[in-house]
Amino acid sequence: MKVIITGTTGYVGEGILLTCLEDDRIEKVLSVSRRSCGRSHPKLEEYLVPDFMQIPADDPKLHGYDAVFFCAGISSVGCPADQYKIISHDIPIHFAEAVAPKESMTFIYLSGAGTSDKNPQAWAKVKSATEKELIAMPFKEAFGFRPAFMKPYKDQKFITGVQKSFAYLYPIFKLLGQGNTIQDVENAMVIVSQKGYASNFISVKDIRKMRR
């Protein structure tokens, strides 16, 4: 597979990138980000874009890939509602419009556990709307990934002290059914891109079912 990954200078995106680079099923990775991921690898290319909303429609640099793993995002904590909507809805939808050919691509949007239009929290409604709009686009398939806690992958550098501390709590989250490793999330992304899945919304439990 040839995949596009966004958010590779963030916690989840970097972990997905590192696992993809070690995954024999992945032939090529294009990292699309505002700044360099700081990695070098024979599989890896970078496309630096100062403003995602300025990526041209049907961008030729985004043609010819099998899947998009859209991992760019921001926490809703302390983020103004209008800015959160731009980052969590407007940007991924604009990016989806820029990639092609859609009929041979899978688009995976990293949302999160709790995403639902029935959830009273504003962030969950925004991400739910994004999922639904992506699924309605003419992709081969589109999925909303809804993990909860994710254990980081080895050698990650874009990780905060709090995230490192939480890594020690992974066994507890796993026991409570709310934990996946970053490697398990990447594996599930590859599987649903290649084989599809019964649901367009991928939960913690679904990710664990697909473990290799």
Which residues lie below 8 Å from residue 102, measured CB to CB, with a gap of 6+? Answer: 137, 138, 139, 140
| Coil vs helix vs strand at 185 | helix
Query: Cα–chain-centroid distance for residue 77?
Result: 19
Rounded Cα gap, residues 22 and 25, in angstroms:
9
Over residues 52-65, the pLDDT tens digits come to: 999 998 899 999 99
Count H helices and E strands in the chain, helices first. 8, 9
Domains and CATH numbers, the chain: 2-209 (3.40.50.720)
Element (H, E) at 128: helix 122-136
Pair 120, 207: CB distance under 8 Å: no
| Coil vs helix vs strand at 175 | helix
pTM of the model: 0.92
Query: Cα–chain-centroid distance for residue 41?
Result: 20
pLDDT for the residue 168: 66
pLDDT for the residue 206: 96
The residue type of 170 is Y
Q: Which residues of the chain have pLDDT under 50?
A: none
Nearest to 70 by CA among 162, 115, 134: 134
pLDDT for the residue 153: 86
